Amino acid sequence: MKLHRSALAVAIFAALLAPTLASGAGYAIYEQGAAVLGMAGAGTASVHDASAVFYNPAALVTLEGKSAYFGGTWLSTHNSFAGVDPNPGFGVTEKMNTGNFFPPTVYWTNRLSNKFAYGAGLNAPFGLGVDWADPETFTGRGRVTKATLQGVNANFSLAYALTPELSIGAGFDALFAGVEVNQIATQVIPGGGGGAANIAQVKLKGGLTPGYGFNGALQWRPDARWKFGAAYRSEIVVDITDGDATFTQMLTGDTLFDAVVAAGLPPAQGVSTTLKFPAMVSVGGAWSPTPDWTWEVDVNKTMWSLFDELPITFATTTSKNSVITENYEDSWRVSVGAEHRLAGHTYRFGYYYDQEAAPIESVTPLLPDAPRHGVTLGLGWTLGAKKQWTLDAYNLALFVENRSTEGQERDGYNGTYKAYVNGTGLSLAYHW
């Protein structure tokens, strides 16, 4: 009897690179500013607060004075799965524990003159996680039981006004990414009736590792009614060279079988791989038919085709190094939003459609990727005797389309995934 070390290792490191946003298209987090998200993320052209550091750095030169901005979003995810024959079987149902995630946003901006401005920020543009309930009986436990991907981004950008109507921006990004993945290895006990027994808890953990990129943007304001914007954020590649994999035996009660498992269990060892975070280009046009109304349409393209394969390199069992095909596809997002500015407050609303990035064969328990529809509502207030404080809030209802693997999932784990996400965001900014 032999435990296949390479199969265990490949499974865990496949989990490492697979995205961990279990609620929609890809693993990017676009929730980076409460005012813009109140308009469903349509802000590339009209963003007018410090979240321009993320949405369009060229707009920094239009902000008055200095500003400090603090915010974040509470994302609540709800996911389930219904299996089909032959694996895991018709009638099998699984669900994730409710996910609660809090990606933060911190920005600082300063307009130095009518020509120059700069901005800096910390945010989390990639991440989230999956956490399947009842991990020891979850039918997909050999692939993953729990996974988290963290991406903390530090950004600095400069803006310059070429003319009163046209400005450009550029900057650099340092993304620190870390990952932890858990799974349970199983094996059939000879003479045990054919059922798979849990034999080992497998954990991989890689600490925050940096990767670097850049951004560029422009904003054109031909008159008081129209604004146009474009922004580009480059791909970032993070090479993890100090990951650790551990394998902890789970006793079955069969003494002979447990002894054979112990003898064949892979040793703890280091591994290396590559995390790929795609480039994104955004274009938008905003129209203000009256001074108190703004409508905007944005189109974003995310270059998910960067995530084409997963290289795996072992520190000890180098003969088992491999490359796993993923073949993600570039995806589109379309956002439409509006803002109405009144004397005492501002209200906002919007809708977006986000296309799936994963092909059918890459829809797995790690990322049941699917198209999604987002509906948002937002409110904003200017506070204080000198109107130096701005408070913005929004709520997002994210309806994820059901997605079937259509019998094509690469590991033969087939069925239909369902999901719903709710997001509530808040930001507070001080201007002087």
pLDDT in tens, 168-178: 999 999 999 98
More confident residue, 101 or 13: 101
Q: Does the pLDDT at position 407 exceed 70?
A: yes
CA 44-46-48 angle, to 5 degrees, is 110
76-98: average pLDDT? 96
Name which of 247, 268, 264, 269 is nearest 313 in CA terms: 269
Average pLDDT over residues 127-140: 91
Weakest-pLDDT range from 18-27, 316-325, 401-410: 18-27
pLDDT above 90 as % of the chain: 72
* Residue 150 half-sphere exposure toward CB, CA atoms < 13 A: 14
Could you give the C-alpha distances from 260 to 186, 249, 264, 267, 268, in angstroms and in order? 14, 11, 6, 14, 18
Work out the mean pLDDT of the chain and round it to a whole number.
Answer: 90
Return d(Cα 407, Cα 84) in angstroms, integer: 8
pLDDT at residue 10 in the model: 38
Cβ 348 vs Cβ 338: under 8 Å: yes
Assigned superfamily of 5-431? Outer membrane protein transport protein (OMPP1/FadL/TodX) (2.40.160.60)
Q: How confident is the model at residue 2 (pLDDT cuts 50, 70, 90)?
A: very low
Cα–Cα distance measured from residue 227 to residue 224, given in angstroms and rounded to the nearest whole number: 8
Q: Give the residue with greater pLDDT, 127 vs 111.
A: 111
In Å, how far are 38, 106, 227, 431 from 286, measured between CA atoms? 15, 25, 5, 24
Cα 19 off chain centre by: 8
pLDDT at 34 over 50: yes
Measure the CA dihedral 158/160/166/171, to 10°.
Answer: -20
- Among the residues of 234-343, which ranges form H helices? 255-264
- Cα angle at 69 between 280 and 36, to 5 degrees? 45
Task: Summarize pLDDT for 219-259 with one digit per residue, the tens.
Answer: 999 999 999 999 999 999 999 898 888 889 999 999 999 99
pLDDT at 327: 87
User: Is a pLDDT exceeding 60 seen at residue 157?
Assistant: yes
Condensed to tens digits (0 to 9), the pLDDT of residues 306-351 reads 988 877 777 887 767 777 777 899 999 999 999 999 998 999 999 9
- Tokens 């529809």 label which residue? 373
Would the pTM count as exceeding 0.85? Answer: yes
Q: Report yes or no: 19 and 367 within 8 Å, Cβ to Cβ.
A: yes
Nearest to 214 by CA among 165, 263, 171: 171
pLDDT tens for residues 253-306?
Answer: 999 999 999 998 888 889 888 888 999 999 999 999 999 999 999 999 999 999
Residues 6 or more apart in contact with residue 64 via CB below 8 angstroms: 111, 431
